[in-house]
Structure 1
Amino acid sequence: MTNRRRTAPFAPFAALAAALLFPLTAHSQDYEAPGTEHNMPIFAPALKAKMTYPMAWSPEVKDLKAWREKGRAKVWEATLQQPDNTPFKAEVIAEEDRGSYVARQVVFNLTGMSRVRALLLVPKSPGKHPATLMLHDHGGKFDIGKEKMIEPFGMDNAADAAKHASAKAWADKHFSGRWPGDALAARGYVVLCADAVGWGDRGPLTGEQQQALASNFFNLGSSMAGNMALEDARAAQFLASLPEVDTKRVAALGFSMGAFRAWQVGALSDSVTAVIASNWMATTEGLMVPGSNQLRGSSSFQMMHPGLLRYLDHPDVASLAAPKPTLFFAGETDKLFPVASVRAAYAKMAKVWQAHGAADRFEAIVRPGGHEFPKEAQDYAYDWLDRQFGKP
């Protein structure tokens, strides 16, 4: 019997099927390569398409209080923080006379995890006063924090002198040579400013270190931006608790990252009754574009709550402060915030104040100039705040 080699009868058909399923093409590419561009995934447009902000205000919202409460809850959820009711246990450790007001170094429990040193300015005149929580910027400058907004204490030693010189240079660069907090205190306001984690007493960081710090906050089940939001809310509560302060007249004021912090704490805290925010507001669509500072990481970590932008855009979060008196500034040539995106955000927010019947309590100004809070804008803001608080 002859042995014959048998060929699988369906082999040619299998090869043909494979060729049809996986056709050979010599000069085409139908797979993803590269995977990133401009520090974003190549599929960023697909991700953007999913960002519809379903919790944003719309004309269909009828119960504004319920909308605000639901929005606040979502923001707090994204911060990864827990409520904190730790007693403040404040102690004044130093004092300096500054004419019509007194500067104090005060130590208090900012949270149950952090006891900090802050700068506090208190008018000498009797009675309760309006107050302002000052929120410092980022600026890539970490050796000073609270000293950016309030003049540091005297120059008794080399370290104090160096800090004062650094703070003065910052005031010259961004604030027309004066400290915003001291200018308000001279008008009769109680003023408080504390360092965020990484600045001043709680630093200094470097640009690279802050990215590692942000990562390790997440590794610890927390969030750097969320911790800052909690601390700002606690600072507002502490300021409002002081015997010299009129609890119905407590503003939050900030420049750059401090502006973000100001409108955020205005949205999250009932202790804050008015907001002034200079040079931080735009839509995410306008910020997440090639060349934007947002695409570099670094400072973005201070303002990034995981997952929040799936529900609320930046102007939507700020609108949770409505109908509180709120004043925004932007620089027409501010390279960090494209003016078209700024105007779109302002228009979106204005509609929420209108829905509250409080259009006259919202003002948004695009002024000539760049990323700064000059004397003219400060004076306008302080006059505006006096009017909102009924202060002559």
Structure 2
Amino acid sequence: MNRTLRNLLLTACLYISATAVFSQKRPRYEYYKDIPVYVDSIHDELTYPMAWGNSSETDFDKWRASARKKVFECMMTPPRAASSYSYKVIAEEQRDGYKALKVEFPLSAWYNVRAYILVPDGKGPFPAINLLHDHGAHLFIGKEKMIKPFDEDSVVIADADKWQDVVYGGRYMGDFLARHGYVVFSADAPLWGERGRAEGVDRKKYDIIAGNMMMLGRNLSAFMTYDDIAGTDFLATLPFVDGDRIGCAGCSMGAYRSWMLSALSDKIKAGASVCWMITTNVQMTWKYGRKENGGFANCIPGLRQYLDYPHIASMACPKPMLFINGDKDKLFPVPGVKKAFDIMHDVWKSRGADENLTTEIWDMTHECPPKVQDSVLDFFDKHLK
């Protein structure tokens, strides 16, 4: 048998073997549709003892401090903080009523990142928005999903333009807010855009990298939140920004980032989240055909032992917060959304601040079209202007 034929046969055998492994089933099993069969028993034990109302702490400020401490503890060790937030402007472009800047600055002591900043024409300081991009299982672009890119490869620009049509109704949300008088900042989350893999985009590698980070005593999802906090700290240092009027907003994963940031940073004065709020017992269940498809994008080890999603978001109370979800959003079933909204309203009511919490369910899918962006603008105009 010649070498070529032998190699072909070996390759065929390996392929057949791999195929057989993937199709093999045992009569007994413990996981179904990627969830343990005993998931209901786990739900029964998730009593969220550190939630406001469940905790024995009756002083709200003390409760928030202890709850934040627990969240940060579960987020594991943060990246080492940058010694300063000095930045350099790489490129700039004058647009209709505002200037677009591409900057580079140290987001931590370990890594510099590039970001877009939009600055309104006129005399500042201005109110500002940390605009947080989505997941979308699309990692090639990040900040470019929120702010129209420039000084960039034509492939990136075309991809960003296409993404606007898919999720944002053809409108760059960052540019829309800047035209209405807001400084807008947007940076890539870890593994998106210019913070991706040298080998190129591969969604399947996200979970592997998250596992490797965990082996290093760090958490990839937590790094995203730590970076959002640091990005807000950087934003507050800019001379054209009013540090007392900083908000944050995002859609999908950007919405998750927005309420996490609002809960954990006192520099955020108001937050808007579009299409990301749920309770764990609805998210992780077969009843609605749901499971966590975002990988490790919002996975913080052990946190569900203490707090559910709406409990964490409630740390933002009594800040003004806006939550919008869609009744046709297959990622976030309405019963879980309504339950989460009720939990948060109970917290804001307990502080006499329910007028500051706006929760709405719109006739839409998982998206952030111009009509939603208009509502977000109205919300920020009310609370930051």
Give the equivalent residue in structure 1 for 2:380.
Answer: 385
TM-score relative to the length of structure 1: 0.87
Q: 1:341-361: per-residue Cα shift (whole Å, max 9, x none)?
A: 101000100111111211111
Give the equivalent residue in structure 2 for 1:94.
Answer: 91
Structure 1 counterpart of 2:271, from 272, 275, 279: 275
What is the CA distance between 1:107 and its match in structure 2? 0.5
What is the CA distance between 1:154 and its match in structure 2? 4.9
What is the CA distance between 1:293 and its match in structure 2? 7.8
Give the equivalent residue in structure 2 for 1:62.
Answer: 58
What is the CA distance between 1:134 and its match in structure 2? 0.6
Would the aligned equivalents of 1:283 and 1:345 in 2 still touch at CA under 8 Å? yes
What is the CA distance between 1:85 and its match in structure 2? 3.7
Would the aligned equivalents of 1:133 and 1:252 in 2 still touch at CA under 8 Å? yes
* Mapped pair 1:319 → 2:314: yes
Please give the secondary structure, in 2, of the residue aligned with 1:303: coil
Q: 1:265-318: per-residue Cα shift (whole Å, max 9, x none)?
A: 110111111100000000001100127686355x23010100000100000000
What is the CA distance between 1:47 and its match in structure 2? 1.6
Q: Within 5 Å, which residues of 2 pair with 1:237-252?
A: 237-252=233-248
Residues 154 and 89 of structure 1: CA distance in aligned 2, closer, same or farther (over 3 Å): closer
Residues 177 and 293 of structure 1: CA distance in aligned 2, closer, same or farther (over 3 Å): farther
Q: 1:326-347: per-residue Cα shift (whole Å, max 9, x none)?
A: 0000001000000111010001
Would the aligned equivalents of 1:154 and 1:161 in 2 still touch at CA under 8 Å? no
Would the aligned equivalents of 1:292 and 1:336 in 2 still touch at CA under 8 Å? no
- Give the Cα separation in 1 of the matches to 2:78 and 2:372: 37
Give the equivalent residue in structure 2 for 1:79.
Answer: 75
Which AA in structure 2 matches 1:277? Answer: S
Which AA in structure 2 matches 1:345? Answer: A
- Give the Cα separation in 1 of the matches to 2:375 and 2:41: 43
* Mapped pair 1:52 → 2:47: yes
Give the equivalent residue in structure 1 for 2:160.
Answer: 167
% same residue: 40
Which AA in structure 1 matches 2:59? Answer: D
Which AA in structure 2 matches 1:57? Answer: W
Residues 114 and 304 of structure 1: CA distance in aligned 2, closer, same or farther (over 3 Å): same
Give the equivalent residue in structure 1 for 2:123.
Answer: 126
Give the equivalent residue in structure 2 for 1:12.
Answer: none
Give the equivalent residue in structure 2 for 1:114.
Answer: 111
- Give the Cα separation in 1 of the matches to 2:216 and 2:81: 21
What is the CA distance between 1:367 and its match in structure 2? 0.4
Greater Rg over alpha carbons, structure = 1
- Give the Cα separation in 1 of the matches to 2:43 and 2:120: 49
Residues 358 and 83 of structure 1: CA distance in aligned 2, closer, same or farther (over 3 Å): farther
Give the equivalent residue in structure 2 for 1:213.
Answer: 209
Q: 1:60-85: per-residue Cα shift (whole Å, max 9, x none)?
A: 65200001001111110111123744
What is the CA distance between 1:225 and its match in structure 2? 0.5
What is the CA distance between 1:141 and its match in structure 2? 0.7
Give the equivalent residue in structure 1 for 2:326.
Answer: 331
Which AA in structure 2 matches 1:176? Answer: G
Give the equivalent residue in structure 1 for 2:291.
Answer: 295
Would the aligned equivalents of 1:39 and 1:296 in 2 still touch at CA under 8 Å? no
Which AA in structure 1 matches 2:252? Answer: S
Please give the secondary structure, in 2, of the residue aligned with 1:334: coil
Query: What 5-or-longer segments of structure 2 have no aligned partner?
Result: 1-26
Residues 306 and 292 of structure 1: CA distance in aligned 2, closer, same or farther (over 3 Å): farther
Which AA in structure 1 matches 2:154? Answer: A
- Give the Cα separation in 1 of the matches to 2:95 and 2:312: 38
Please give the secondary structure, in 2, of the residue aligned with 1:282: coil
Would the aligned equivalents of 2:259 and 2:273 in 1 still touch at CA under 8 Å? yes
Give the equivalent residue in structure 2 for 1:357.
Answer: 352
Q: 1:69-107: per-residue Cα shift (whole Å, max 9, x none)?
A: 011111101111237442122111111101211100110
Query: What 5-or-longer segments of structure 1 have no aligned partner?
Result: 1-31
* Mapped pair 1:228 → 2:221: no
Please give the secondary structure, in 2, of the residue aligned with 1:125: coil
Off by >4 Å, runs of 4+ in structure 1: 291-294
Which AA in structure 1 matches 2:77? Answer: Q
Which AA in structure 2 matches 1:226? Answer: A
- Give the Cα separation in 1 of the matches to 2:157 and 2:290: 31
TM-score relative to the length of structure 2: 0.89
What is the CA distance between 1:50 and its match in structure 2? 1.2
Would the aligned equivalents of 2:168 and 2:369 in 1 still touch at CA under 8 Å? yes
Residues 125 and 292 of structure 1: CA distance in aligned 2, closer, same or farther (over 3 Å): farther
- Give the Cα separation in 2 of the matches to 1:206 and 1:360: 44
